[in-house]
Structure 1
Amino acid sequence: MTVPTDQPTEVQAAILTFVEARTRTSWDPGADIFATGGLSSLFAMELVVHLEKTFGISIGGADMRLENFRTVDSMVGLVTRLGGHASA
């Protein structure tokens, strides 16, 4: 049985919930959340801290590139690659 790719994963849903609550905007998982110009570097650091605490990962070095945080999908990929899992 194939899992539909349009179904949000637990990780994706958790990240979307955080981003949408902080920005008060609904986002498509593939949308560039920084392209709007309304998000700050402080928000980027909040994302890093949130991902680390929520998914039990450590983000540093080469992983601290904006490309890893531009979209919810890219953040899901980062969390998955670093072995994170939802804490809920």
Structure 2
Amino acid sequence: MQTEVPAEDVRAQLLEFVTSLVSTELGPDEDYFAQGLISSLVALELVTFVEHRFGLTVDVADLDLDNFRTVNRLTGFVLAKTAG
């Protein structure tokens, strides 16, 4: 059974990781894909980080860009995956 992580902790960890990937400060609602800050290779790093850090599996059906577009959307995705 997974331990529920508070949303603000998930958001903070994701924001820290994404910021380290793009080497610039980002807000939680900034679309780093639209800004061209994340390539497909870096996107794979993000998926791998989410899986390992939060103990979940990102299924093929989950690979919708909208789940990963911003830190807030990614936070919602992680919380939804770990809730069930």
Interval containing the TM-score (normalised by the shorter chain): 0.7 to 0.9
Runs of 4+ in 1 over 2 A off after TM superposition: none
Question: Is 1:51 equivalent to 2:50 in the alignment?
Answer: yes
Local SS of the residue matching 1:82: helix
Residue identity in the other structure for 1:64 = L
CA RMSD of aligned residues (A): 1.4
The match for 2:4 is none
Identity of aligned residues (%): 40
Local SS of the residue matching 1:58: coil
Report the TM-score when normalising by structure 1. Answer: 0.82
Instruction: Note the 1:1-88 alignment, pairs <5 A.
Output: 9-83=8-82
Higher relative contact order structure (alpha carbons within 8 Å, sequence separation ≥ 6): 2
Gaps of 5+ in 2: 1-6
CA distance in 2, matches of 1:49, 1:41: 13
Higher Cα radius of gyration? 1
Report the TM-score when normalising by structure 2. Answer: 0.86
Contact kept? 2:66, 2:73, Cα under 8 Å: yes
Gaps of 5+ in 1: 1-7
Local SS of the residue matching 1:83: helix
Return the structure number with greater helix share: 2
